[in-house]
Amino acid sequence: MKPVIFTGAGVAIITPFNEDRSVNYEKFAELVEYQVSKGTNAIVVCGTTGEAKTLSTEEHINVIRLCVDVVNHRVPVIAGAGSNDTRYAVELSNEAEKAGVDALLSVTPYYNKTSQRGLLAHYNYIADRVSAPVILYNVPSRTGVNIKPETYAELCKHPRIVATKEANGNISEIAQTAALCGENLTIYSGNDDQITPIMSLGGKGVISVLSNVVPGTAHKIAQKYLDGNYEESRRLQLEYLDLCNNLFIDVNPIPVKEAMNMMGLNVGPVRLPLVGMDDNSKAKLRDCLIRHGLIED
């Protein structure tokens, strides 16, 4: 049986910026400490929500190093280190390993994309050249390519490919992946509105945007399921469904950063090509935060 990197809720943590859009390292350290203190089970740094693709390589590695230092082995640190350039993905992964991460998150190739055969070649090439466990990241809405269940079944034969963050939204395909891979592949929900459903198929938790805003709640949704309290997990999943959805009323991480700023966390703006939300979306998000008692009316 392969190692399970974490169970429960790992936060796909945002990268805070100053008003000039430079990285706010001091605020980032505060956010990491806040997440650990609230029971988050893992920190996933420099992913989609962390705007990794607009970070320079130097910034990317500096953020990872800082995260590792602040966490100090209290929970696993998982570093986004994927790329559509396979060789660069290896370089970034090796630098993340040097920083001391516990695992690597590797998104499917985007823009140039690839075939299922190409995915096998891409991921095996990376896994052959790293020592840390690899978590695949399947998010077709971002990349334009989907990992098929049969491809997962081949990929999980590699000893270092241990898990996937599954965000294709297709419960039937996720069920088929679970059936084909069994204990050779840990499945994490990549969508906050599907934590409980995916865990009902054997998933071990979530890599969560929601955790940036309500880390305790995201943890509870997953942990209640792990504890066998399926009804409470389901109840919380449905209670917070509107917040899950409102955090995606614009391109991630625009809404989650806006929500955090509304809550007084002062995480700054997004980087271009992303831009701030329009007034109608802001009002809708604000109403949702008020309903959940996260800000005052």
Q: Which residues are catalytic?
A: 137, 165
Cα–Cα distance measured from residue 285 to residue 88, given in angstroms and rounded to the nearest whole number: 37
Count of Cβ atoms closer than 10 Å to residue 235 Cβ: 14
Task: Find the farthest-apart pair of alpha carbons in the chain and give their distance in angstroms, rounded.
Answer: 53
Count the alpha carbons within 13 Å of 125 in the hemisphere toward its beta carbon.
16
Bridge partners (DSSP) listed for residue 206? 9, 189
Contact (CB, 8 A) for 208 and 9: yes
Nearest to residue 246, comparing CAs of 272, 213, 219? 213
Backbone angles phi, psi at 161, to 5 degrees: -90, 105
H/E stretch holding 140: helix 140-143
Integer Cα distance of 21 and 51 in angstroms = 12
Structure tokens at 258: 């806006």
SS3 251: coil
Contact 189, 198 (CB under 8 A): yes
Q: Which residue has the tokens 């607009």?
A: 54
Distance CA 281, CA 140 (A): 24
Angle, in degrees to the nearest 10, between helices 116-127 and 86-99: 30
